[in-house]
Chain A
Amino acid sequence: MSVFTLLAVAAVTVGSRVAALALLPPPPGTLAGLVARLPAPLFAALAALSLTGSEAGASDPAMLAALGCALLVSRWSSLLLTLAAGLSGYLTVSLLL
């Protein structure tokens, strides 16, 4: 890969960030309502994306244990607690299997 290709990749990525925050206007009217409801579904969809994209895959028992434990503690709305519970579930099932 050349430096040119790398800089082109950087331009695409950086350009989309700048467009999203500095060039595009705030979402108007009905779209604003949709955008206000978007964060939680968006992050849940990204969780599914990173699960299916992981090397272990969505059927790996340890991954499922990690997600299950994370979901169990998600009601407390603590990122640290969710990470700790998820990784504990993952490590426990990995050690058992």
Chain B
Amino acid sequence: MSLAPSHGPRTSLVVAALPVALAIGVFGLVYGAAARPVIGPELAVLSSLVVFSGAAQFTMIALLAAGATTLGVLGGVGALALRHLPLGAVLRPRFRANRGRRALVSWFLIDETTGLALTRAEPVERTLAISGSLAYAAWVLGTIGGVAGASAAPVEPLAGALFPVLFVGLASLTARSRSDAGRALAAGAASLAVLLAWPAGGALAAIGVAVAVAAAGRAP
């Protein structure tokens, strides 16, 4: 299945989004199993329903398990939420919808749907809505499965490998030239070096490296 730009029907977009949704569903299973003992089954499911952010929710659980206060949790989640700004900035010029519709589909603004939206010929808002709906359903159903006691142990190591691989795929899809590919390799290597030396830097450090690499390059 190629995700190169095409004018295929809606089913082709659904087919393109399915592997992403599957990966997110597996991660949802792991999240549900991890969240249940920390915040209870009801709040674990509710969190996936109203937050829909794996990074934010895993951070929330880790901080709560470590005894963090509400302010500490909000600080950690707020830092992660800043990643939406570059994602939105990348997509914003491609939107044709008005502000109200952009606000509605912003619910589906996650790393994976952004990658798909950048590589599809369909309107950005449609790609976000369709791929985001699938991802949201998979995330919530995965969480319910994990909370209900489905064992995450067999898939947990695999889930850990899914997202680095998925992001490599999204980087390759969004690299439209040799210089893009070179910048992606440079950003990946530099981020890895920074994060190994400074693990606490987290998402902000990684995004900072990506912005620095993009700023250092010239337009193709």
Interface residues of A (CB under 8 A from B): 1-10, 12-22, 24-27, 31-56, 58, 62-63, 66-67, 70-71, 74-83, 86-87, 90-91, 94
| Count of inter-chain pairs, beta carbons less than 8 A | 296
Minimal beta-carbon separation of B38 from chain A (angstroms)? 8
Interface size class of B (residues with CB under 8 A): 35 or more
- Chain B: interface secondary structure? helix
Q: Does B106 contact A (CB under 8 A)?
A: yes
Is the CB–CB distance between B74 and A8 below 8 Å?
yes
Given A1-B43, A32-B93, A80 and B82 contact (CB-CB distance below 8 Å): no
A81 proximity list for chain B (CB < 8 A): 1
Is the CB–CB distance between A42 and B210 below 8 Å?
yes
Alpha-carbon gap, A24 to B91, bound state (A): 12
Is the CB–CB distance between B192 and A52 below 8 Å?
yes
Given A42-B207, A56-B157, A56-B160, A18 and B191 contact (CB-CB distance below 8 Å): no
Q: List 28 A-B contacts (CB under 8 A).
A: A6-B39, A12-B81, A15-B81, A16-B82, A20-B106, A22-B106, A27-B92, A38-B86, A38-B89, A39-B115, A40-B187, A41-B186, A44-B191, A45-B188, A46-B167, A48-B189, A48-B191, A48-B195, A49-B202, A55-B160, A67-B164, A67-B168, A70-B164, A70-B165, A71-B168, A78-B1, A78-B3, A80-B3
